[in-house]
Amino acid sequence: SLYVCSGGSKHFCALLDSGDVRCWGKNDKGQLGRGDAIDPLGRFPNTTGDALKNVDLGSAASAKATAKATAVACGGDSTCALLSDGRVKCWGANERGQLGLGTNKT
């Protein structure tokens, strides 16, 4: 079930009580966390709710399990999740280095 929802300029992400994150809306900068920058999600009923895929948060620091989020925040065209092991994962627009990667490349 839904734990918290955050919105950016044209996208939204939900943190589920399972620690999974699902995003929908505009995806022109990769802000949905799908690994691409095409096709918005959520325009049609069959593309929302349980039809949404979880964002790939990577492996947990122990590498024995999938990482889970404890918080999520959407910026204008980017999103960041605080993971249960204290790391932060961000995705989406990075023209001004907002993903914290040390560069302005996505």
Q: Which two tokens stand for residue 30?
A: 């990769």
Min mean pLDDT across 14-28, 36-50, 66-80, 83-97 is at 36-50
Q: Check: CB of residue 75 under 8 Å from CB of residue 91.
A: no
With a cut of 90, say whether residue 6 has pLDDT above it.
no
Residue type, 71: A
Domain boundaries, the chain: 2-92
Determine the average pLDDT of the residues in 14-26. Answer: 93
Return the pLDDT at 55: 92
pLDDT per position as a tens digit, 25-72: 888 999 999 888 887 777 777 777 788 889 999 877 666 678 899 999
